[in-house]
Amino acid sequence: MSLRLGKIRMKAPRGEHYDVAIIGGGPAGLSAAIYAGRFLLKTIVLAEEVGGQLNLTDWIDDYPGFRRVRASQLVRNFKMHAEMFNAEIVEMVRVERFYRTESGEYRILGTRGLDIYAKTIIMAVGSKRRKLGVPGEREFANKGVSYCSVCDAPLFDGKDAVAVVGGGDAAFEGAILLSGYVKKVYLIHRRDQFRAKPFFVEEAKSRPNIEFVLNSVVDEIKGDTSVRSVVVRNKITGEKREIPVDGIFIEIGFEPPKEWFQSLGLETDATGYIKVDEWMRTNLPGVFAAGDCTTMWLGFRQVITAAAMGAVAAYSAYDYLAEKGLYKPYKPDGK
Ligand code: NAP
């Protein structure tokens, strides 16, 4: 038996058996948990952080049924919904490895003593923040270098200037948010075309204190006790410019933990995304994957696409168990 401290368990479960273990607590994982619960599967969600990338966003205005909702509220709704269908959610636990036992079940091991068995697994671990890899980035981490505008923007309230790097939704959302706190925002992007939604681009262009620095890359981040400037190079002219800033927000997307996936025996593409078919099946029997860690719909990562993948993965886990004669409805309250 593991002890519970409020909602957070002090110890992760040990020796327990599940129909499905969902690794990851973002929209894909929690949606998988809702559907797995609906299929009456004994379900556990193992999450380092419930919410995943939703925790890095402020408002969501493109999830059906919600004209405009705080991302944190959507996370709470997803979690509550999954728990309503009897999913057990273990937070602040990191899965380190799993392997298939002779009985055909997977043994899953991780931090805080996690050691459980599951007939199926759904990988929904998302991906890691990409780094620029330039001098000063590591040195000034948390001293002006941030990877999350939504989390850290208020810390820069009243400052003179910040830089935001990237041309996707996160960079634009960050620049728009920061323009309300900081006198000047430089949006530095390596091209002059943007991945960000036109809505964000139009909004950023309408803000007089956002300056676009295009076709440009950051060569160095400089400072003393904290960030003081960034050295930017125009890729076309080669011209260098040192821009005084109090901080830099690196919002250049995510990349999957390729080596970890491969060490688990999961087949990935060259970048490291887990290869899945249209039913979210991986190369491992009984292991499915959903959300940003997969090859599915690369280039269009949304809450709704992650949630859709989670639903399909849960259906496939159920279908796999039914086909193998391993399905037994789980009714914890004896109904
Ligand atoms: P993204 O869409 O992958 O965009 C990353 C941006 O960073 C691209 O513009 C890319 O440039 C640039 N970049 C990548 N590597 C770089 C490098 N080494 N140096 C300089 N620039 C680099 O990532 P994201 O903006 O974090 O968004 C991730 C997903 O979350 C997307 O699906 C997005 O729609 C979603 N999201 C949605 C919202 C919202 O709707 N509220 C908010 C945030 C994120 P290139 O364009 O040249 O490749």
Distance between CA atoms of residues 112 and 274, nearest Å: 26
Per-residue model confidence (pLDDT) at position 10 = 62
Distance (angstroms) between ligand 1 centre and the Cα of 130 equals 10
Write down the H helix ranges in the chain: 27-38, 71-84, 149-152, 169-178, 198-206, 258-263, 303-323
Instruction: Name the residue among 85, 158, 121 with its Cα closest to residue 109.
Output: 121
Ligand 1 centroid–CA 225 distance in Å is 29
Contact 273, 256 (CB under 8 A): yes
pLDDT at 207: 98
| Inter-residue contact 249 to 142 (CB < 8 Å) | no
Percent of the residues in the chain that have a pLDDT greater than 90, as a whole number: 86
C-alpha 147: how far from chain center: 13
What pLDDT sits at residue 8?
A: 53
Helix (H) or strand (E) holding 212: strand 210-213
- 3-class state of residue 169 by DSSP: helix
Ligand 1 centre to CA of 126 (Å) is: 14
The larger pLDDT score, comparing residue 221 to residue 127, is at 221
Please report, rounded to a whole number, the percentage of residues in the chain having pLDDT higher than 70: 96
User: Quick check: helix, strand or coil at residue 220?
Assistant: strand
- Check if 252 has its Cβ closer than 6 Å to any atom of ligand 1: yes
User: From the CA of 169, how far away is ligand 1's center (Å)?
Assistant: 6
Q: Which residue has the tokens 């949304």?
A: 302
Q: How far apart (Å, rounded) are the C-alpha atoms in residues 166 and 129?
A: 12
Q: Which of 152, 169, 246, 292 is catalytic?
A: 152
**Which two structure tokens, joined as six digits, stand for 181?**
């706190």
CA atoms within 13 A on the CB side of 136: 21
Closest to 294 (Cα-Cα) out of 278, 308, 271, 275 = 275
Torsion sign across C-alpha atoms 316, 319, 320, 321? positive
How many angstroms separate the CA atoms of 193 and 168, rounded? Answer: 10
pLDDT higher than threshold 60 for residue 7: no
Q: Which residues contact 166 (CB under 8 A, 6 or more apart)?
A: 174, 189, 250, 251, 252, 253
The residue to mutate among 294, 301, 303, 305, having the most atoms of ligand 1 within 8 angstroms of its beta carbon, is 301
Query: Is residue 5 very low, low, confident or very high in pLDDT (cuts 50, 70, 90)?
Result: very low
Q: Which two tokens stand for residue 189?
A: 């992007």
Helix and strand totals (H; E) in the chain:
7, 21
Which letter, b or e, does each residue of 222-261 get, where b requires 16 or more Cβ atoms within 10 Å of its Cβ? bbeeebbbbbbbeeeeeeeeebebbbbbbbbbbebbbeeb
Euclidean distance between CA atoms 7 and 116, whole angstroms: 20
Asked whether 171 lines ligand 1 (CB < 6 A), one says yes
Domains of the chain: 14-129+254-323 (3.50.50.60), 145-250 (3.50.50.60)
Mutational test site, ligand 1, from 169, 249, 251, max ligand atoms within 8 Å of CB:
169
Per-residue pLDDT tens digits for 137-170:
999 988 999 998 988 899 899 999 999 999 999 9
Mean pLDDT across the chain, nearest whole number?
Answer: 94
Q: Give per-residue pLDDT as tens, 26-81.
A: 999 999 999 999 999 999 999 999 999 888 777 888 899 999 999 999 999 999 99
| pLDDT above 80: residue 303 | yes
Cβ–Cβ under 8 Å, residues 308 and 290: no
Contact 223, 163 (CB under 8 A): no
